[in-house]
Amino acid sequence: MGRPKALLDAGGRTFLEKVCSTVAAAGVQPVLVVVAHDAQEITAALPKDCVPVPNPNPELGQVSSMALGLEAALQLGKRWALVALVDHPEVAVETARLLAKAADAEPGAVHVPTYKGERGHPVVVPTALAPSLFEAQEGEGARDVFSRLGILVREHAVDDPGILLDVDKPGDLRKLRSRDRK
């Protein structure tokens, strides 16, 4: 798409700004952002209240980034973390708030939003799972780790199609931008 997803425009703000703003508005503090260690442009673009968590090995994939974020939150004494992906910039604040409230009530479970029966993002993950994610087997995703460990996963139905809007390809970006113009 020509530049890092985090810095793409999503209706007057970057994806990074929108996602960080949603997390903060949901009351999740501090907002920790896992960033590749060599991504100075993204680190420099972080909103002022965000805390960068450097990922020295981004090539290890999303599970390693999740583990680093959970570990950073655990070190701050947090029992859970809201894991929001930068390529899901249209999640409603109410969705993030609902997930945070569910995690406060049941911090040992993974909390996942659903829209019309389909799972989406962000998700809430207990920070105690960081070591297990660091030890994930080759090709094993977070969902696989949770299943292997028998972690309780709670689904929460939301009226928020933004949880499914994953901007991975230029066509996805065009769809998002045409939606913003309506």
How buried is 172 (Cβ within 10 angstroms: 0-12 exposed, 13-18 middle, 19+ buried)? Answer: middle
Tokens representing residue 58 in the block: 């981004």
Q: How far is the C-alpha of 90 from the C-alpha of 22, rounded, in Å?
A: 9
Concatenated DSSP letters of the chain: --S-GGGSBSSSSBHHHHHHHHHHHTT--SEEEEEETT-HHHHHTS-TTEEEEEES-GGG-HHHHHHHHHHHHHHTT-SEEEE--TT-TT--HHHHHHHHHHHHH-TTSEEEEEETTEE-S-EEEEGGGHHHHHTPPTT--HHHHHHHHT--EEEEE-S-GGGT----SHHHHHHHHHHHH-
pLDDT reported for residue 168: 74
Low-confidence ranges of the chain (pLDDT < 50): 181
pLDDT reported for residue 137: 81
pTM of the model: 0.91
User: 137-182 pLDDT, tens per residue?
Assistant: 888 899 999 999 999 999 999 999 999 998 876 666 666 655 554 5
Give me the CATH code for the 5-173 domain, please: 3.90.550.10
Domain segments of the chain as ranges = 5-173
Q: How far is the C-alpha of 11 from the C-alpha of 2, rounded, in Å?
A: 17
pLDDT reported for residue 97: 98
Give the rounded distance of the alpha carbon of 31 from its chain centre: 11
pLDDT reported for residue 61: 87
Give the rounded distance of the alpha carbon of 164 from its chain centre: 12
